[in-house]
Amino acid sequence: MKGKFITFEGSEGCGKSTQSAMLFRYLLSRKLKVIYLREPGGVKISEKIRELLLDPNSKISPQAETLLYMASRACVVEEIIKPALKQGKTVVCDRFLDSTIAYQGFGLGVDIKLIKLIGNFATQGINPDLTIFLDLPVKSGLKHRVNCRDRIEQRSFNYHEKVRKGYLKLADACPQRIKIVKVQKNKFKTQDNIRKIVDAF
């Protein structure tokens, strides 16, 4: 693949969407060919799966939840990510396979080896070149989401703690790829730290 693949990860309320969009605009300003995506989503089928996964009224088992995320991912990889990387473009994605390992693996107890196996199939072996993990204490993240709780956000504090700890374990295991950025109160300070990492990369 000629292009570069940058992903953003983090627990609820950490500012992933804001920071990833800010980085996307920054890279555009540097005259790079950049594509911006969110997961689950990005293409028609993936957006429909997103609606189902986040609907508070949906009753989905951990196994089905894992497979739905993978199905959504497989679609966006085939339709957008793979072609863009082949064309030498930079892809910035809000969440990717690490999310499934953290949320469904560490959070729900789905076998992590199995997640990685299915994940490799769904992504066609495409892995991020760089992952920005936005770290924020769970209490701080969830207090911003009181009035907009989707199905995942509604889960217990203990669940979200498992997710955050899972991310930290992933970062510890893959320090070359996953860079931890502490979330600051000032979003521009957080973005400055992200840009330093990306510029060096």
Average pLDDT, the chain: 95
* Predicted confidence (pLDDT) at residue 143 exceeds the cutoff of 80: no
The model's confidence at residue 108, banded by pLDDT at 50, 70 and 90, is very high
The percent of residues above 90 in pLDDT, for the chain, comes to 87
Q: Which residues pair with 7 in a beta bridge?
A: 93, 131
Per the CB < 8 A criterion, the answer to whether 105 and 115 are in contact is yes
- The CA distances from residue 39 to 2, 16, 70, 101, 168, in Å, are 22, 11, 10, 14, 20
* Predicted confidence (pLDDT) at residue 148 exceeds the cutoff of 70: no
The model's confidence at residue 146, banded by pLDDT at 50, 70 and 90, is low
Identify which of 192, 159, 189, 184 has the alpha carbon closest to the alpha carbon of residue 14. Answer: 184
* Predicted confidence (pLDDT) at residue 88 exceeds the cutoff of 70: yes
Which tens digits make up the pLDDT trace of 121-131? 999 999 999 99
User: Can you tell me the distance from the alpha carbon of 174 to that of 176, in angstroms, rounded to the nearest whole number?
Assistant: 6
Cβ partners under 8 Å of residue 34, min gap 6: 24, 27, 28, 89, 90, 91, 92
Instruction: Compute the C-alpha angle 29/42/128, nearest 5°.
Output: 65
Per the CB < 8 A criterion, the answer to whether 53 and 23 are in contact is no
* Predicted confidence (pLDDT) at residue 147 exceeds the cutoff of 90: no
User: Can you tell me the distance from the alpha carbon of 106 to that of 165, in angstroms, rounded to the nearest whole number?
Assistant: 8
> In 3-state terms, the chain is what percent helix, strand and coil (to 5)?
55, 15, 30
Question: pLDDT at position 166, please?
Answer: 97
The predicted model gives 20-28 an average pLDDT of 98
Local structure of 108: helix, strand or coil:
coil
The predicted model gives 80-94 an average pLDDT of 98
* Predicted confidence (pLDDT) at residue 75 exceeds the cutoff of 70: yes
Question: pLDDT at position 32, please?
Answer: 95
The model's confidence at residue 149, banded by pLDDT at 50, 70 and 90, is confident
Length reported for the chain:
201
What is the DSSP code (8-state) at residue 12?
T
Where do the H-state alpha helices sit in 30-137?
Answer: 44-54, 62-76, 82-86, 97-100, 112-122
- Flag the least confident range among 48-52, 61-65, 138-142: 138-142
Output 6 or 11, whichever has higher pLDDT: 6
